[in-house]
Amino acid sequence: MKIIVTVKQVPDTSGKVAVNPDGTLNRASMQTIINPDDLNAVEAALSLKDELGCKVVAFTMGPAPAEGMLRELMAMGVDEGVLVSAREFGGSDTYATSQILAAAIDTYGIEEEDIILAGRQAIDGDTAQVGPQIAEKLHLPQITYAGKITKEGKKITVNRMLEDGYMVVEAETPCMITCIKELNEPRYLSVFGAYEAWSKPLTVMDYNALKDHELIDATTIGLKGSPTNILTSFTPPQKGAGQMLKGNGKETTDELAAILAKKHYI
């Protein structure tokens, strides 16, 4: 039994973001981080490892520097990393990305009792599509928005969060589960772990490693294989600045109440 976790290195959109004059994002100016929901998936994998003693393998697709992220995850306790990286994979939308990651995971091998974990969504695109689409391409059952996961042999039980409560859903391994931040509190990397990380195995799967897989061909990967195209991207205009009221005492709040009453808001 093993646990596969898919992770993504993303620009930190919580900080200041620079936009190029042509409306695209200035990625060079931004810090990269491990996608927050993916850390919850990694923590879920490591908790199951603590409990069941299984191997945890992290998969990521991205440029070569994503190796640094895989080493960080190894310092947290991940046993092995797979970096899926090739020029041919660039420009992939969620469909094409799922196709490639599914091929990579299938090439590595999925066994009877395996679980694949993913973060619910990545903060750069916020799509939440890659997890379910990997599951579809691998013909595996999926359970998204996991708020609690338990495993007994081949049986997985998950509390799947809804807006107004949750469902308790059972599935058999192998299966795909996507994780939300309420699931757990990700652990920190340990000093010993950081030392150990560099001796753990890291494999790079490039185009040649995957090109013979049935899911991979020119019509399903990269920019050309992506069903969606960007028509245009833009920044919204700044709303005209409003009125800063003078002072902050009772006269000011009375003034505001009077304005709202006059405009029939109250």
Partner 1 sequence: MAFNNTVIEDFKNVWVFCEQRQGVMMPTTFELISEGRKLANELGVELCGILLGDDVDGIAKEIGGYGADKVYVYNSPLLKNYTTDAYTKVICEAVEEFKPEILLFGASNIGRDLAPRCAGRLHTGLCADCTHLDIDMPNYKGFLAEASTLAPDKIEKLGTVMVAGEKKDVSRDLKMTRPAFGGHLMASIICPRFRPAMATVRPGVMKKNEYCADCAAKIEVLHPEFKLEASDVKTNVVAIEKAAKKLVDLIGADVVVSVGRGISKDVEKGIALAEELAEVLGGVVGSSRACVDAGWITADHQVGQTGKTVHPRIYIALGISGAIQHKAGMQESELIIAVNKNESAPIFEVADYGITGDLFKVVPELIESFKAAKAAK
Sole window of 23-31, 40-48, 62-70, 109-117 interacting with partner 1 (rule: CB under 8 A): 23-31
Residues binding partner 1: what is the number (CB under 8 A)?
A: 83
Chosen residue from 125, 186, 209, 216 binding partner 1 by CB under 8 A: 125
Q: Which of 29, 127, 150, 190 binds partner 1 (CB under 8 A)?
A: 127
Binding of residue 29 to partner 1 (CB under 8 A): no
Query: What's the CA gap between 249 and 97, in Å, rounded?
Result: 56
CB of 266 to partner 1, least distance (A): 6
Residue 217 CB neighbour total at 10 angstroms: 12
Distances (CA, A) of 153 to 57, 108, 115, 148: 19, 22, 11, 17
8 binds partner 1 (CB under 8 A): no
Shortest Cβ distance from residue 200 to partner 1 (Å)?
A: 31
Strands 165-172 and 155-162: antiparallel
Question: Cα(first)–Cα(last) distance of the chain, in Å?
Answer: 62
Nearest one of 87, 93, 63 to 225, comparing CA atoms: 93
Stretch that binds partner 1, among 44-52, 55-63, 153-161, 207-215 (CB under 8 A): 153-161
Closest to partner 1 by CB, 25 vs 209, is 25
Q: Is 126 in the site for partner 1 (CB under 8 A)?
A: yes
| Cβ(86)–Cβ(111) below 8 Å | no
**Beta carbon of residue 71, minimum distance to partner 1 (angstroms, whole number):** 26
The minimum distance between CB 198 and partner 1, in angstroms, equals 32
Contact of 96 with 221, CB cutoff 8 Å: yes
162 near partner 1, rule: CB under 8 A: yes
For residue 212, the one-letter residue type is D
Whether 188 and 62 have beta carbons less than 8 Å apart is answered as: no
Please, what is the minimum distance in Å from the beta carbon of residue 7 to partner 1? Answer: 18
Cis bond upstream, residue 174 (ω within 30)? yes
Report the alpha-carbon distance of residue 88 to residue 122 in Å, rounded.
Answer: 22
Residues 173 to 232: which contact partner 1 by CB under 8 A?
175, 181-182, 224, 226-232
Considering the rule CB under 8 A, would residue 89 count as an interface residue with partner 1?
no
| Cα separation, 255 vs 242, whole angstroms | 15
67 forms part of the interface with partner 1 (CB under 8 A)? no
State which of positions 104-123 bind partner 1 (CB under 8 A): 123
In the set 40, 85, 133, 184, which binds partner 1 (CB under 8 A)? 133
Residue labelled with tokens 């391409």: 137
From 52-60, 73-81, 204-212, 248-256, span contacting partner 1 (CB under 8 A): 248-256
